Amino acid sequence: MRTPLSSGLAAASMGFLLLGLALRSWQVLLLALSPMIVLALGSLAPPPKPHLVAVRSLSRDRTDAGRQVDVELLVRNEGSSLDLVEIADVLPREFEVIRGTNHAVVSLEAEGTLRLAYTIRSPVKGDFVLGPVRARSFDPLALGAQDVVLDLRSPLVVAPAMEDLRRAQLQPRRTRPWFGQVPSRRIGPGTEFWGIREYVAGDEVRRINWKASARLEQLFTNEYEGERSGDVVIVVDARRESSIGTEADNPVEHAVRAALGIADRVLAAKNRVGLIVHRQVIDWVPLAFGRKQLYRILDHLVHVKPGGEWRFSHVGLVLSRFFPRGCLIVLITPLLDREALTAVVGLTARGYDIAIVSPSALAIERRMRADSEEDRMAYRILAMERANRVAQLRRVAQVVDWDPATPLALALRRMTAWPRRA
Amino acid sequence: MASSRLMSPTLRWTPIAVLALLESWVAWDLLAVPDRRWITALALPFVANLAFLLLSRGAHRRWARWCGLLALGTTYVVSHAFALGVQVLPALVFVSLLIAQVELRILAERFAPLFLTTITSAQQRQIGSALLRALIRLTIASFLAVVIPLLAADLATAGVVPVTTIPTAFLLSAGLVAVVLIIALLPSLESNPE
């Protein structure tokens, strides 16, 4: 392939020739030789087609958003010697190179190798593929080039960063018959004292309340509040309209991060967790316990991209068909439309406890815009509208208005109980 | 590592320095033109060249850079062909420098970003040796682009090569047409690898 420079040199040569002939000037005619000589020297050694073999190795194939991954690319020249070859390991645009380089221009002898070692990081989650490797061989004067693409691809899954919610009080109000860590307001096995009753044959000796027994001259047994587990369904609003801001800083990305943190925290407390993602399609993960469920939820969340124009009320249909009543719904939505209010009222009427975590799209937008007088005025109006919507929702649900620039744990800590008792 | 840090700005500034040299050369020649009408006429492409080059730096437009260089070359050639007279050696040096400036810019665009990143000393050595080879080839090409036409002129004026015959004219034209045809038929390279 020719480069634009070779065309330019040929055109210049032709121009000098024609001008020299028109002016009948041998000096001008002579100037046509300079670009011709450069062209001739360039074409003396046309660039050979590169025959390269590449091997890529990654320090890990699953990582978290923001965590570094070391990549090593070994390229070996199995063809003739390459005078000038440009090699680039193509990365998805979400990745940034922290150390080293994924791109080099070198000379490669036959059987020569090039080692590119670099460290990358993605600020956003996703299921990515590194590669292919592109190589372009040039002649010494960059007048011609030969391209080759090595179809070497390495998958890399970037999970959303996990929020530390260990101190947040996240537990469902209504419990199920399984043992867990949520006080159930029923007598059963647990650690919180509930009351005493007369001793019955078969009661454990260590449960006998000796002080009360001595005072009343009759054996009494301690009773405890049973600790059970509950159900939590996390609903992530990833509709197209919820995507405001940059690729890394938008309500959908923050919602995914929050969902993962909440799922981890709730599962660690021995509750069942389910997930509904409201995006191009409405997909869900049924309720289940344990670490495996966290990985199932994580796999779903990794693929969440903003999209879809579904009405918010569709979530209610999925909930009523596939999830039991009486579970806690954690709705993670930027609350950009008033329809959410109607949907939440409808769900509460059907017997669901609702808690809303709302990553503020307004706060994200404000950080992106210049701080002019008009912007400040617009922000105040929109903030009032949002506050009004949140106030209306607080009548039926617990609402956390979350500025994603602050840790979610901090926003959740401001809540007194989770969720507010009806 | 320190030399690597210096390499990138050096590479970036060399083509700009060569371009500045060419611009001052043409400006100096313009001032030497005795006829005011010619100065006015030649000032137009010269100002256009400056405007295009500034546009190319500001807006990163490739076509503007090419137009700027074309306007600069046109100013030089027209001023010498019509007003000042063509002196062979300086003209050849000017044309070679213009070509070298383009080549240097291509090299700078390709190599300068590599020295900005944190690369290992082995990578630095490999990249540095490739750059050195490219620079040596460019120096040789620029030298030959001046010397061979001078030699040809010498041979022609000495009468060793008959330049005014019809077969010579045919041969030269046919050679040039062949080169242009070959270049026109080759597929064009549009973009750099990502």
Q: Please indicate, yes or no, whether residues A215 and A238 belong to a single structural domain of this protein.
A: no
Q: Which residue among B122, B127, B176 places its CB closest to the CB of A14?
A: B176
Residue A123 lies in a domain: yes
Q: Please indicate, yes or no, whether residues A241 and A372 belong to a single structural domain of this protein.
A: yes
Give the largest Cα separation in chain B, rounded.
Answer: 61
For the record, the structure tokens of B29 come out as 């020649």
Chain A contact set for B141 (CB, 8 A)? 37-38, 41-42, 140-141
Q: What is the pLDDT of residues B116-160, one digit of tens each?
A: 777 778 888 888 888 888 899 899 999 999 998 888 888 777 766
* Closest-CA distance of chain A to residue B113, Å: 9
Q: Which residue among B73, B86, B127 places its CB closest to the CB of A105?
A: B127
Q: Which residue among A31, A36, A142 places its CB closest to the CB of B103?
A: A142
**Cβ-defined contact of B141 to A14 (cutoff 8 Å):** no
| Per-residue model confidence (pLDDT) at position A415 | 65
The SS3 assignment for A248 reads coil
**Cβ-defined contact of A103 to B113 (cutoff 8 Å):** yes
* Closest-CA distance of chain B to residue A25, Å: 8
For chain B, residues with pLDDT lower than 70 are: 1-5, 159-166, 168-169, 179-194
Residues linked to residue A2 through DSSP beta bridges, in sequence order: A144, B188
Residue A167 lies in a domain: no
Q: What is the pLDDT of residues A374-409, one digit of tens each?
A: 888 988 999 999 999 999 888 888 899 999 999 888
**Cβ-defined contact of A106 to B134 (cutoff 8 Å):** no
Chain A contact set for B96 (CB, 8 A)? 34
| Per-residue model confidence (pLDDT) at position A214 | 92
Residue A33 lies in a domain: yes
Q: What is the pLDDT of residues A265-277, one digit of tens each?
A: 999 988 999 999 9
> What's the average model confidence in pLDDT over A358-364?
91
* Closest-CA distance of chain A to residue B141, Å: 6
Residue A138 lies in a domain: yes
Q: Please indicate, yes or no, whether residues A58 and A36 belong to a single structural domain of this protein.
A: no
**Chain B within 8 Å of A10 (Cβ-Cβ)?**
yes
Chain A contact set for B92 (CB, 8 A)? 30-31, 34
Give the amino acid at A208.
I
> What's the average model confidence in pLDDT over A174-192?
75
Q: Please indicate, yes or no, whether residues A261 and A388 belong to a single structural domain of this protein.
A: yes
CB contacts < 8 A, A to B, total 169
| Per-residue model confidence (pLDDT) at position B48 | 94
For the record, the structure tokens of A159 come out as 């999970």
Name the nearest CA neighbour of B141 among A140, A144, A84: A140
**Cβ-defined contact of B145 to A7 (cutoff 8 Å):** no
pLDDT confidence band for A309 (50 / 70 / 90): confident
pLDDT beyond 50 at A82: yes
Kindly give, in sequence order, each residue whose CB lies less than 8 Å from that of residue A408, ignoring residues fewer than 6 positions away: A163, A165, A168, A257, A258, A261, A357, A402
Q: Please indicate, yes or no, whether residues A388 and A299 belong to a single structural domain of this protein.
A: yes
CB A219 within 8 A of CB A259: no
Q: Please indicate, yes or no, whether residues A309 and A381 belong to a single structural domain of this protein.
A: yes
Name the residue range of residue A338's domain.
Answer: 231-413
Q: Please indicate, yes or no, whether residues A94 and A14 belong to a single structural domain of this protein.
A: no
Residue A110 lies in a domain: yes
Residue A173 lies in a domain: no
pLDDT beyond 90 at A155: yes
| Per-residue model confidence (pLDDT) at position B188 | 59
The answer to whether the pTM exceeds 0.80 is: no
Question: Could you tell me whether strands A272-278 and A231-237 are parallel, antiparallel, or unpaired per DSSP bridges?
Answer: parallel
Q: Which one has a higher pLDDT value, A142 or B87? A: B87
Residue ranges covered by each domain of chain B: 2-185
Residue A93 lies in a domain: yes
| Per-residue model confidence (pLDDT) at position A384 | 93
Q: Please indicate, yes or no, whether residues A218 and A137 belong to a single structural domain of this protein.
A: no
Is the bond preceding A132 in cis, omega lying within 30 degrees of 0? yes
Q: Please indicate, yes or no, whether residues A287 and A401 belong to a single structural domain of this protein.
A: yes
Whole-angstrom distance, CA of residue B84 vs CA of residue B63: 30
pLDDT confidence band for A422 (50 / 70 / 90): very low
Q: Please indicate, yes or no, whether residues A248 and A394 belong to a single structural domain of this protein.
A: yes
> What's the average model confidence in pLDDT over A222-234?
86
Q: Which residue among B92, B153, B179 places its CB closest to the CB of A10?
A: B179
Kindly give, in sequence order, each residue whose CB lies less than 8 Å from that of residue B16, ignoring residues fewer than 6 positions away: none
Q: Is the ipTM of this complex over 0.85?
A: no
To test the contact with chain A by mutation, choose from B183, B188, B190 the residue with the greatest count of A C-beta atoms within 10 A, namely B183
To test the contact with chain B by mutation, choose from A33, A99, A115, A137 the residue with the greatest count of B C-beta atoms within 10 A, namely A33
DSSP symbols for B52-74 = HHHHHHHH--HHHHHHHHHHHHH
**Chain B within 8 Å of A367 (Cβ-Cβ)?**
no
Residues linked to residue A119 through DSSP beta bridges, in sequence order: A70, A99
**Chain B within 8 Å of A99 (Cβ-Cβ)?**
yes
Residue A273 lies in a domain: yes
Q: Please indicate, yes or no, whether residues A211 and A330 belong to a single structural domain of this protein.
A: no
**Cβ-defined contact of B114 to A101 (cutoff 8 Å):** yes
The SS3 assignment for A242 reads helix
pLDDT beyond 80 at A113: yes
> Considering its fold, how many domains does chain A have in total?
4
Read off the CATH number of the domain in which A321 is found.
3.40.50.410
| Per-residue model confidence (pLDDT) at position B4 | 61
pLDDT beyond 90 at A164: no
| Per-residue model confidence (pLDDT) at position B102 | 93
Q: Please indicate, yes or no, whether residues A248 and A150 belong to a single structural domain of this protein.
A: no
Residues linked to residue A150 through DSSP beta bridges, in sequence order: A133
| Per-residue model confidence (pLDDT) at position B1 | 46
**Chain B within 8 Å of A202 (Cβ-Cβ)?**
no
| Per-residue model confidence (pLDDT) at position B194 | 40
